[in-house]
Amino acid sequence: MKVAVVTGASRGIGRACALRLAEDGMTVVVNYSRSEAAALEVVEQIKAKGGDAIALRADVSDPAAVKEMFKTVWKTYGQIDVLVNNAGIVRDEYLLMLTEDSLNTCLDLNLKGYFYCAQQAVLKMFRKKSGVIINMSSVSSKMALAGQSVYSATKGAINSMTQTMAKELAPYGIRVNAVAPGFIETEMIDALPDDKREEYLKNVPLGRFGKVEEVAAMVSMLASDATSYLTGQVIVLDGGLSL
């Protein structure tokens, strides 16, 4: 049975990915940093359907916590086959309003956290000479949204990192791809004021926001052997928004 680690899986896109990968027959590590009850609920849901999962708390912007989490995964399962680097935050602030704290929080989680998790996962994947890493990017890496200079910078960096890691790790049988979702119905989107929601919706050719299950379906495909020849790609999943 394959083992998948999904960061930020207590809600939103990460939760949907955890549920979907469990449906695909994988054992799932449900990572979270604060929302323990929600993470345990995801685990329960997986177990209720006959799957296997554990919830592990780790702030993935903290390298020591990440190391500890992967140590536990290794001790418990002895393998790591799939990493979904998903935990991320938005800090929408115009350049001149941008605080040092927002800048650091965003860079630490959305960028450095992806490196910390990839390093720990790859150390284990090397042993099997196989593995899949899926990085959650964003359409913000492809098109400009005012106020998102830091967020989009982290997501643009994720795209570049995906390409480079894919090249580095291909000789070891490890594939690395990214998914760049557009507007997906999650708490991140719920937090938008109504006028902003309407404005954004007008620009989506498919006329609606995406569903977390649709992102999870793409992650499932990227994690599967159906995409065994695909690496280093950023799959834009945005209802046509960036066209």
Q: Considering the complex, what minimum distance in angstroms separates the CB of residue 182 from ligand NAP?
A: 6
- Residue 184 identity: I
**Cβ-contact 24, 50 below 8 angstroms:** no
Cα–Cα distance measured from residue 87 to residue 113, given in angstroms and rounded to the nearest whole number: 8
Which residue's CB is nearer to ligand NAP, number 173 or number 221? Answer: 221
Which residue's CB is nearer to ligand NAP, number 23 or number 41? Answer: 41
Binding mask 180-219 for ligand NAP (x = CB under 6 A): -x-xx-xxxx------------------------------
Which parts of 19-38 interact with ligand NAP (CB under 6 A)?
31-35
**Cβ-contact 145, 94 below 8 angstroms:** no
Which parts of 80-99 interact with ligand NAP (CB under 6 A)?
86-89
Catalytic residues: 151
Cα–Cα distance measured from residue 85 to residue 130, given in angstroms and rounded to the nearest whole number: 17
Q: How far is CA 47 from CA 21, 39, 43, 55, 87, in A?
A: 13, 13, 6, 12, 23
Which span sits near ligand NAP by CB under 6 A: 3-11, 20-28, 71-79, 162-170?
3-11
Kindly state whether residue 239 participates in binding ligand NAP, applying the rule CB under 6 A: no
Q: Which residues bind ligand NAP (CB under 6 A)?
A: 7-14, 31-35, 59-61, 86-89, 109, 136, 138, 181, 183-184, 186-189
